[in-house]
Amino acid sequence: MIIIFDYILDVFFPRNLKCIYCNKDIDENNKYSLCDDCKVKVSFIEGNVCKYCGRHIKDGNICLECEKNRYYFQRGISVLEYNDNSKKLVLALKYNKKTYIAYYFAKMIYDKMELNEMVDFDIITYVPSSKKKRRKRGYNPSEIIAKYVSKFSSIPYEKLLIKEKDTVELKSLNRMQRKLTVKDSFKIKDNDLNIKKCLIIDDVFTTGSTINECSRMLYEKYVCDITIATVYVGDIDK
């Protein structure tokens, strides 16, 4: 499936010809298909980071947001700083059907996994969307990113969860409302897998309530060690 999918993408969006942000011509060896200007604009996370969500923090190892929560995952990475430019790129993938961007997000995530020596997983999975939402949009951005991370890392990828409840958009909700809304909205898919180390991928981390609820389900079923990876850590107030 992924081969056909890949082929279709290559035909319609030949890789590394144009910058995925400004559409300027770029060198074909360009790693993330971003011109030098846009690389600076979207801004990659560097330096000291929060061990749970992966956002940049001045010092310490847990950010203020994560300090308020108790997670079922042990660690997490994120690749881009949250700003108007990175947001535009994520929104283009999520709402404008620019699914080819997922390939580059996956590459960024995979490179960071390698850099942090986080490549030892039995399985890669993703935060599912509800049937209704997936049908409406035609795809799940997190699923495509996960597929490519699986391809780059040669770690198998599997759908482990099902979104049962079609929850309201979390955008306008505060932390507590989010927690309550996502509670019990996922179901574990039936399988007899033995999972010890799992990587969960989602496009965006906001309060972490969604990916944490997925982690809880997986932890309760497999008692596994969980790592999460997202493109950026968004801000609840924006």
Cα separation of 182 and 84, whole Å?
A: 27
Is 211 one of the binding residues for Zn ion (CB under 5 A)?
no
Residues in binding contact with Zn ion, number by CB under 5 A = 11
Residue closer to Zn ion, measured from CB, 52 or 219: 52
In angstroms, what is the minimal distance from the CB of 163 to Zn ion? 24
Question: In angstroms, rounded to a whole number, what is the distance separating the alpha carbons of residues 212 and 204?
Answer: 13
Residue closer to Zn ion, measured from CB, 195 or 200: 200
Q: How far is the CB of 13 from Zn ion (least distance, A)?
A: 15
201 near Zn ion, rule: CB under 5 A? no
Check binding of 168 to Zn ion (CB under 5 A). no
Could you tell me the two tokens for 116? Answer: 């942090």
Is residue 38 within the footprint of Zn ion (CB under 5 A)?
yes
**Residue number with CB closer to Zn ion (35 or 160):** 35
- Interface with Zn ion includes 205 (CB under 5 A)? no
Backbone angles phi, psi at 21, to 5 degrees: -100, -50
CA–CA separation, 189 vs 98, rounded Å? 29
Instruction: Name the nearest CA neighbour of 75 among 123, 104, 125, 113.
Output: 113
| DSSP letter (8 states) at residue 35 | -
- Give the up-direction half-sphere exposure of residue 144: CA atoms within 13 A in the CB hemisphere: 21
What distance in Å separates the CA atoms of residue 81 and residue 100, rounded to the nearest whole number? 20
Please, which residue, 135 or 238, has the CB nearer to Zn ion?
Answer: 238
Which of 35, 155, 198, 211: binder of Zn ion (CB under 5 A)?
35
Q: What does the binding site for Zn ion look like in residue numbers (CB under 5 A)?
A: 19, 21-22, 24, 35, 38, 50, 52-53, 63, 66
